Structure 1
Amino acid sequence: MSTATDMDAGPAGTFPAALVELANRFGDQEAVVAPEGRITFAEFVRRCDELAGAFAAAGLQPGDRVGILLPNGLRWLVTMLGAQRAGLVAVPINTWYRSGELAHLLGTAGLRLVVTDAYVFGKDMLAELGAAGYPEVFAPGPRAEGYLGALIWPAAQTFPPAAVPGPAPAHTAAPDDIAMILYTSGSTALPKPVPLEHGKLLRNGRAMGERMHLRPGDRLWFAMPLFFGYGACNALPVALTHGVTLCIQEKVEGDKALEFIERERCTVSYGLATAVRALLDAPSFGSREISSLRTGPVGFNAEDKRLAIEGLGISEACAAYGLTESYGFVTMTDAHDPLEIKLHTQGTVLPTQRIRVVDAAGAVCPPGVTGEIEVRGCVIDGYLGSAEINAGTRSADGWFRTGDLGSIDADGRLAFGGRWKEMLKIKGINVAPLEIEGILSGHAGVDQVHVVGLATPEGDQEMACVVVPKTGWPADEAQLVHELTEYIRGRAASYKVPTRFVVMDARSVPQTHTGKVSKLKLREMLEAAR
C-alpha cells in the first residue's frame, strides 16, 4: 500500500493521500461498485499504485497531463487517481465529443497520453482520435517527451494490456498542485479549460459533505457523466472526504437505475432534475424499494426540488448553488433545514467560500435585491490559456464574476435568479426566465416549463414558453394554454405573460450531454418553426 502521506498531519490534502487515508481506516470496505465490478478501498489504492508505476515506466513526468476518454466506471476512477498518484494531471474528456471537438481539446490541453477503449458507447475511439490528428496508439517503452498515443483499456481487463508495470514513484502531488483540468461545456463558445487544485477540491468536498451530513458507509448513486464538474469536482471529492462508497452506472436509465439503487441500498442521490424525472417516469417506479435514499443535491427550481424530495422521498436533500470554477458548490441548505427553505433558496455560503451580489455598477446589493453573483474562496485563479479567455471574469477587487443572477436575504440565504445572459428584454424591461418558470410550475397541469426569448424584427424579444403537461392531464392543448395564460396573468405583471406557448412531449425536449435541458436547442427549434 502507498505511504505517500503523513496520516498524523491532519486531513489529507491530495486525492491519492485521501484515498490512502480511507484504505487505512476502512481497507476491507467497498470503495466502488461499477460496471466492471467491485473493489475495496485497499484494492483501490493497490490498483492506483500499479497504474501510477506504469505511467512512470512510460516516461511520464510529474505535471504531465493524461486524458481520460472512458465511460463511468472503475477504469475511469483508477485512471484519475492513478495519474494523480504519479504526480500527473488528469484531464477528463467528454465521451460524446467527435473528432473536431477532440482536436480542440487535445490541441489545447497538451496531453501526453489518452487512456481509452477501442469503442466507447459504440463509437470507434481510434478512428475519432485519428480524424482529430492523433492516430498514435501507445507502445511500451519510455519516452521523455511528446505524445505517447492512446492507451487502450478494455472493460474486461483489470490493467491496460499494453502498459508495463513498474514501481509507484516516490513523488506524489502537493495540495496546491493541479489535480485535474475540466473543460466547461459552453453553449456558444469553445469549452474553457478549468484547472482545479487538490487542496481546494478536498476542502470544498468536506464542506459539501458536512451540509449533507454524510458519514462513512453511505453509498452514493451516480449515473451522470463523471467527466463534468458535477462528478469530477463534486461527487468524487465528497466521497473521498467522507468514506462514501461510489455506486456508479454508465448512464441514467430509469428502470435499471431503480433496480441498482434498490440492490445497492444507495443512501445519497447525485442526479440532476432529468435523472429524477427518469426515475419517477420509469415503469417500475413504485415497485422498487428505494427508501434507503436519504440525502443529496437537488435542482434549482422549486418544482424540481419537490420532485426529488417528495417524489423520490429524499427527505434530507440539499438545495445548492455552484459551478465548476468554484470547485463544486458555493452555497447549500443543510440536510435538516425546513422544506420551505430548501424549495425557495439555495442555502447559505459554505465555510470555504464567500459570496456577494452586486449591481451593474459593482456596488453590493441590499438584502433581497437581485444582481450578479460574485464569489471568492475555493475558486480558480483563472482559466488556462491566453489573457483573452479570462477577460471580464474578475471584478476590480478580485471577485470571480459568475454571470448568474441572485439575491441574498437578511438571513444570508441565496435565491438563484438564472443566468445573466438568459435575461429577456420584453418591451424594454428585463425579465428573468426562472421567475416565469417558477410561477408556471405551480400549475397543477405542468410537469416541465422552459422559457426562452425569440428575437423580433424590432430588436426586442418575444417570450416563448415550452410546456410539458403532466401525464393524464385532461385539458386539451388549447385549454391548457388558456389556463396557463390566465394563471400567470393573475400572479405577475402583464409584460411577464408569455406571448407564445408550445406544448411538447417530454421526449421531444432537447437535452445537453450532461442531461440538462438545452435552451439553446429549444430556441433554435422554436425559431425554425416560425
Structure 2
Amino acid sequence: MTAIPDTTTDADTFPAALADLAARFPDDDAVVAPDGRVSFAELASRVDEVAGALVAAGLAPGERVGILLPNSLRWLVGVLGAQRAGLVAVPINTWYRSAELAHLIRTADLGIVIAQATVFGKDVLAELEAAGHGGILDPERTGYRGAVLWPVDGPFPLTAAPAPQALPTADDLALILYTSGSTALPKPVPMQHGKLLRNGRAMGDRMHLRPGDRIWFAMPLFFGFGACNALPVALTHGAALCLQEKVDGDAGLEMIERERCTVLYAMPTAMRALLDAPSLATRDLSLVRTGPIGFTAEDKQQQIELLHLVEGCSAYGMTESYGFATMNDAHDPVGARLHSQGQVLPTQEVRVVDPDGRVCPPGVRGEIEIRGCVIDGYLGGDELNAGTRAADGWFRTGDLGLFDEHGNLVFAGRWKEMLKVKGINVAPMEIEGIVSAHEEVSQVYVIGLEVPGGDQEMVGVVVPEPGAAADLPVRLTEYVRSRVASYKVPSRFLLMDSAAVPQTDTGKVSKLKLRLQVEAGR
C-alpha cells in the first residue's frame, strides 16, 4: 500500500478534533447542508453555543441526548454540541413511530430529545406523546425532561451560556447508535470517542483523504454509515461534509458537480440512484476520486467507470466495529478492489474460523471474527450480548468470508442467509455474483423458500436492464447451469421492477421482506 502523508489530526475526541480543524483551517468549508453552509471556525462556535445551552439547562456529563432531525447542519451541531458538553449523543431514526421511540427512549435512558416540529410529515410532539414521553423540555422534571424543538431557519432555542471548560476523554461514550434488526428490536450500540476517531483516521487514510476534500453524503446520518463512519472520517481529515436531506439521483449529481465533491460516501442504493439518474451523462464528475464502493464486482466497475470513482475502495465492517474493519487502499490494483474487501485496518484484527473455532487457512471460508476497535458489548445486559463473543473474547460477526493469498478479506454473505438445497449448503452471494455478470441483469437477489422436509427452494429475483427480453429467466437458468454444480442452480428466476424491491430502514434490500413477498405470490 502507498505511504500516506500525515495531514490528519491526532485528536482523540470529537470536540478536540473540531477545535483542531477550527484552528488549522478556520475559513474552509466544514458543512454544506440544506439549512446552511459554515466554515470550521463557524461550526466550532455554533457547537460551543449549543454545549453551553445544554449545560445551563441542567444536563450533566454522561447524560444522553436524542437527536431527531433529518440530515442537516442542525443534526451535526446537535450531535457535536452534546459531545462538547460531555453528553452522549443518541441519533434517532427519523422513520421511527411511537412504539419504536418508546423503546429507544427507555433503553438509551434519554434526558431530552432535540427535534423539529415535523420530520418528513410526522408531528414529532404527537409521536413522543403517543410514546409516553410528551411535552416540551421542563428542567424541573427528573428522568426524561422533554423535547427541544429547533426551527429549520432559527437559532438553537435554549438560553445561550458559555461552553464548559472540561472536555470528554477518549474513553468516554460519544454516541449510542441503534442497529436495525429484521426480527428483533434494534440493539443499542455504545461507542467511545477514542475508538471512533482512531478508526475514522484509519478509514480515511485508506482512501487517501486530505484537507480540502469534499464528501457527498445523502444516506441517513443517524445510522452507523454516517455517525460512526463518514463523520469521524471527515473530522480526522479536514474534509467538508456536503449533505443532502435524502437520496435523490438527479439532485445528488447536481450537488456533486456544484460543490466540487471529491468523495462519494454512499451505500449501493444511493449509488444506484446516481447511476439511474437521467442527468448522469450531462454532469461533470471529473473531480470525484474516491469513496466506499460495493457490493458486486459489476456494481463496483460501474461506479468506477460511470461515477469517476477511480480510487474507490471496497470495505467490510459493521456498526459494532466502529465502521470498517477491512478496506482496500485507494491505490490498490483495480482487480483487488473489485474482488475483495481489502486488508485489515491497523486499528483492527480479523480472523476467519470454522464451526469449531479453529482459524481457517487462506482460501477456506468460515465465520468472520473481529477484535480491536470493537464495542465492549450492547447496552442492556447479558441477554442482548449472549452468543456475540467467542470463548477468547473475539466479536462474532455472523458473517462468512475468507482471506485470499494476498491477505485480502473476501466477504461471502451472512451465516443466517446460507441456504440448504438438497441437503447441501449454498451461499446466495456466490450465485448472485455469477448472475450479476450477465449483461441483461441490473440487480439480483437469491433467496430460499421453505419446502416440506426441511429443505429450501432457491429462487433468483432479478431486476433486468432496460430492453431485456421476456425469456431472460429461462436463459439465466441455462447461464448459471453452465457455470456451477447443478444443485446451485436456482429452481426459477423471477423478474421484478427495481421500485418493487423492498428495503430496510437503512436503505438496504430486505431479503426477509422479499422472501415473504415471493412466498405470498406462490
Q: If the length of structure 1 is used for normalisation, what is the TM-score? A: 0.96
Q: How does 1:384-399 map to 2 (within 5 A)?
A: 384-399=379-394
Deviation at 1:160, TM superposition (A): 2.4
Separation in 2, partners of 1:37, 1:104: 32
User: Match for 1:255: what amino acid?
Assistant: D
Separation in 1, partners of 2:424, 2:298: 26
Are 1:519 and 2:515 counterparts? no
Separation in 2, partners of 1:422, 1:360: 16
Structure 1 residue corresponding to 2:487, chosen from 465, 483, 495 = 495
- Contact 1:300–1:320 (CA under 8 A) maintained in structure 2: no
Deviation at 1:439, TM superposition (A): 0.5
- Contact 2:477–2:492 (CA under 8 A) maintained in structure 1: no
* Deviations 1:178-230, CA, capped at 9 Å, x for gaps: 10000000111110000010000000001000100001000000000000000
Are 1:236 and 2:231 counterparts? yes
Separation in 1, partners of 2:143, 2:195: 30
Deviation at 1:371, TM superposition (A): 0.1
- Contact 1:50–1:165 (CA under 8 A) maintained in structure 2: yes
Separation in 1, partners of 2:455, 2:166: 59
* Deviations 1:349-383, CA, capped at 9 Å, x for gaps: 00000000000000000110000000010000110
User: Match for 1:50: what amino acid?
Assistant: E
**Equivalent residue number for residue 147 of structure 1:** 144
Deviation at 1:143, TM superposition (A): 4.1
Separation in 2, partners of 1:505, 1:339: 31
- Contact 2:191–2:375 (CA under 8 A) maintained in structure 1: yes
**Equivalent residue number for residue 507 of structure 1:** 499
Separation in 1, partners of 2:283, 2:129: 45
Separation in 2, partners of 1:344, 1:358: 21
* Deviations 1:47-66, CA, capped at 9 Å, x for gaps: 00000011001100000000
* Deviations 1:233-254, CA, capped at 9 Å, x for gaps: 0000000000000000111101
Deviation at 1:287, TM superposition (A): 0.6
Q: How does 1:176-325 map to 2 (within 5 A)?
A: 176-325=171-320
Deviation at 1:37, TM superposition (A): 1.1
Q: How does 1:44-193 map to 2 (within 5 A)?
A: 44-139=43-138, 142-143=139-140, 145-157=142-154, 159-161=155-157, 163-193=158-188
Deviation at 1:346, TM superposition (A): 0.3
| Equivalences, count | 514
Separation in 2, partners of 1:17, 1:515: 32
Q: How does 1:441-456 map to 2 (within 5 A)?
A: 441-456=436-451
User: Match for 1:522: what amino acid?
Assistant: L
- Contact 1:113–1:148 (CA under 8 A) maintained in structure 2: yes
**Equivalent residue number for residue 3 of structure 2:** none
Deviation at 1:231, TM superposition (A): 0.2
What is the aligned-residue RMSD (CA, Å)? Answer: 1.0
User: Match for 2:145: what amino acid?
Assistant: L
Post-superposition, which runs of at least 4 consecutive aligned residues in structure 1 deviate over 4 A?
A: none
Separation in 1, partners of 2:156, 2:18: 21
Deviation at 1:513, TM superposition (A): 2.1
Separation in 1, partners of 2:101, 2:247: 24
Q: If the length of structure 2 is used for normalisation, what is the TM-score? A: 0.97
* Deviations 1:415-464, CA, capped at 9 Å, x for gaps: 00001111111111111110000000011110000011111122111111
Separation in 2, partners of 1:514, 1:393: 22
Determine helix, strand or coil for the equivalent of 2:384.
helix
Separation in 2, partners of 1:154, 1:436: 49
Separation in 1, partners of 2:276, 2:467: 13
Question: Bigger shift: 196-205 or 305-314?
Answer: 305-314
**Equivalent residue number for residue 433 of structure 2:** 438
**Equivalent residue number for residue 5 of structure 2:** none
- Contact 1:204–1:328 (CA under 8 A) maintained in structure 2: yes
Determine helix, strand or coil for the equivalent of 2:280.
coil
User: Match for 2:520: what amino acid?
Assistant: A
Deviation at 1:300, TM superposition (A): 2.3
Deviation at 1:30, TM superposition (A): 0.7
- Contact 1:322–1:331 (CA under 8 A) maintained in structure 2: yes
Q: How does 1:348-363 map to 2 (within 5 A)?
A: 348-363=343-358
User: Match for 2:182: what amino acid?
Assistant: S
**Equivalent residue number for residue 328 of structure 1:** 323
Question: Bigger shift: 236-245 or 303-312?
Answer: 303-312
- Contact 2:364–2:403 (CA under 8 A) maintained in structure 1: yes
Separation in 1, partners of 2:204, 2:108: 31
- Contact 2:262–2:290 (CA under 8 A) maintained in structure 1: yes
- Contact 1:300–1:416 (CA under 8 A) maintained in structure 2: no
Determine helix, strand or coil for the equivalent of 1:60.
coil
Determine helix, strand or coil for the equivalent of 1:404.
strand
* Deviations 1:53-108, CA, capped at 9 Å, x for gaps: 11001100000000000000101000000000000000000000111111111111
Separation in 2, partners of 1:260, 1:393: 41
Deviation at 1:144, TM superposition (A): 7.8
Deviation at 1:124, TM superposition (A): 0.7
Determine helix, strand or coil for the equivalent of 1:488.
helix
The share of aligned pairs that are identical, in percent, is 68
Deviation at 1:483, TM superposition (A): 1.1
User: Match for 1:91: what amino acid?
Assistant: V
User: Match for 1:315: what amino acid?
Assistant: V
Are 1:416 and 2:411 counterparts? yes
Deviation at 1:500, TM superposition (A): 2.2
